[in-house]
Amino acid sequence: MSKVITHSLFTDFDIDLFKAGKHFKLYEKLGAHLVEVNGVKGVYFAVWAPTAQSVSVVGDFNYWRGNDHQLQVRWDSSGIWEGFIPEITKGALYKYKIQSNINGIVTEKADPFALYCEKPPHTASVVWDLDYKWKDENWMQSRQNHNGLDKPYSVYEVHLGSWKRGEHNRFLTYLELADDLVAYVKETGFTHVEFMPIMEYPYDPSWGYQLTGYFAPTSRFGKPQDFMVLVDKLHQAGIGVILDWVPSHFPDDAHGLGFFDGSHLYEHPDRRKGYHPDWKSLVFNYGRNEVRAFLISNAVFWLHHYHADGLRVDAVASMLYLDYSREEGEWEPNIYGGRENLDTISFLKEFNEVIYANFSGVQTIAEESTSFPMVSRPTFTGGLGFGMKWMMGWMHDTLKYFQKETVYRKYHQNDLTFSMTYAFTENFMLPFSHDEVVYGKKSIANKMPGDEWQKFANLRLLYGYMFTHPGTKLLFMGSEFGQSDEWNFEKSLDWHLLQFDYHSGVKRIITDLNQLYKSQPALYEKQFTGEGFEWINYSDHQNAVLSYIRKGNNAKENLVIVGNFTQVVRENYRIGISQKGKLIEIFNTDEAIYGGSGIGNSGNLKIESSPYDGRDYSVELTLPPLSVTVYSFA
């Protein structure tokens, strides 16, 4: 095997940008790159290890010997080690063997910029390329018409390892999922898929939220190009792709980013800022320029090379607050005496600015559970710059309400109505995510009270309320057909339940709700502004009934929605209306095809000149049990 040849992909300008934390395509320079130098093919390696005394590339091509292929450190104090090794080919396994100048500590690390990794539990990086011919030109050119804040945005959250399994409980491959999953999402009508982290991770029970290969799709399901096929086919089917992204923390596995070159290179050196007590993991040093460039480059990488349409940023609350999950004395205030992490705030603003400046038709979504202000407001107005934020308060209050027996609901109407006091302070996404169906919380279906009929009626009511409430939607896999058991990442969803009418009815109502959402502009055109919502009556707690109007750009397309949150049928139930004409029931969660009782309103419903609810006109309706009914103006 040939020795290392001096070679560099870096220009002086690249180095200046890297040091300043402004190089957002580091994946084009750092890592392993198949290149040709002076007519000789091989691999150029580059790794950031500023406290290293020596760095060698070890792999299956040199029998993992530590001194055969030593890289050279650049002269410019960047801390980058580099070199070209001839004759290495695609598929070669490698790591970096790093001897630190701090007490001679030796680490053997996977490449932080590896494009492909060995299948866990093996931990080597794999020399690879990103060659692929995409076929999603139509989607990429028009995706702003699908991803805009004034468009329907209904997300199906998926854990690839447990959506469906093959024979003997094996994982399905990316290519198999490109057939089965794409067809299913298209059938059920979701506009987007959100993948729980697909970047390489060592430990299955982490669900992918403890990453070691930030630039590599996990090899559990196939090769990088196979994942591209999955994204490509989703796009060709008109379905957007959101990736869970985890810049909040990373594991301390020996081959990962932790203590990379014998120093606290990626993690903050102060344990009060660099260690997460909940997850026993390390926290990035957001104030270090090169670390910021690594993370933002990673976000750019997935949007550019894998055509992702959005990034859902995990655990933002844990990043924003210095005292998150820490007791008194375990954290240090910022320079102003506050608890906010100023480095994180600066990083998140820059991340969002870079993403929105460089990619059209994408969204960033914050999983942020606190009242931190202006998360989804532009940075030029003082916000963090995200496109959307998860509405965790709505989710908690709504599930708390629905878990109550219906006889008690009249005392807790505020659990439902409170969300509208802050619904338009952010661009909110309504999430029923994986976090709500694990660790003893029960499945969404089994949170519902009552006998079997009432459980499923409540579930249909819950989804009807969700889809008619302002905001975009997210539903975790299995919830769309009323999965009975909690989610178990070690096995497939319980697809056999679809043979039962109640479960198939839930799937059908989700399919129809997605169609309703996409076909009714009043449900999405003004979903983030108070102009798109008006209460008719929120105070009928005695009957546990809510009525409201959803509005779009055209007043003629407005919708009237009424929710009956008990199993009592309300006949001749009057609500106020502000205009003459007629109403037509266009959706009813109690229809027999969904497993309901089939009670509803047929034909045109005449609006009468009879004042009610503070309005000049009114109409009488029949409210089915445990239902949401939707009406358009005739």
> So which residues are the catalytic ones?
314, 367
Q: Which of 398, 418, 427, 402 is nearest to 535 (CA)?
A: 418
Contact residues for 182 (Cβ-Cβ < 8 A; gap 6+): 230, 233, 234, 237, 239
CA distance 9 to 82: 9
Sign of CA dihedral 169, 173, 174, 177: negative
CA distance 29 to 24: 11
Tokens 């009957």: give the residue: 543
Q: What ranges make up the beta strands (E) of 176-272?
A: 192-195, 199-200, 213-217, 240-245
Q: Which helix (H) or strand (E) holds 396?
A: helix 392-402
Burial zone of 551 (CB within 10 Å; 0-12 exposed, 13-18 middle, 19+ buried): buried
Phi/psi-derived region of residue 234, left when phi > 0, alpha when psi is between -120 and 50, beta in every other case: alpha
Q: What ranges make up the beta strands (E) of 239-375?
A: 240-245, 275-276, 281-282, 310-313, 363-366
Q: Which helix (H) or strand (E) holds 445?
A: helix 444-447
505: which 2 tokens? 């009815």
402: which 2 tokens? 């629905």
CA distance 507 to 594: 8
CA distance 228 to 23: 25
Q: In what order do the strands lie in the sheet with 627-633?
A: 533-537, 545-550, 559-564, 627-633, 582-588, 604-606
DSSP states of 463-492 as a string?
Answer: HHHHHHSSSEEEEETTGGGT--SPP-TTS-
CA distance 533 to 529: 8
CA distance 89 to 33: 10
Burial zone of 373 (CB within 10 Å; 0-12 exposed, 13-18 middle, 19+ buried): exposed
CB 71 within 8 A of CB 83: yes
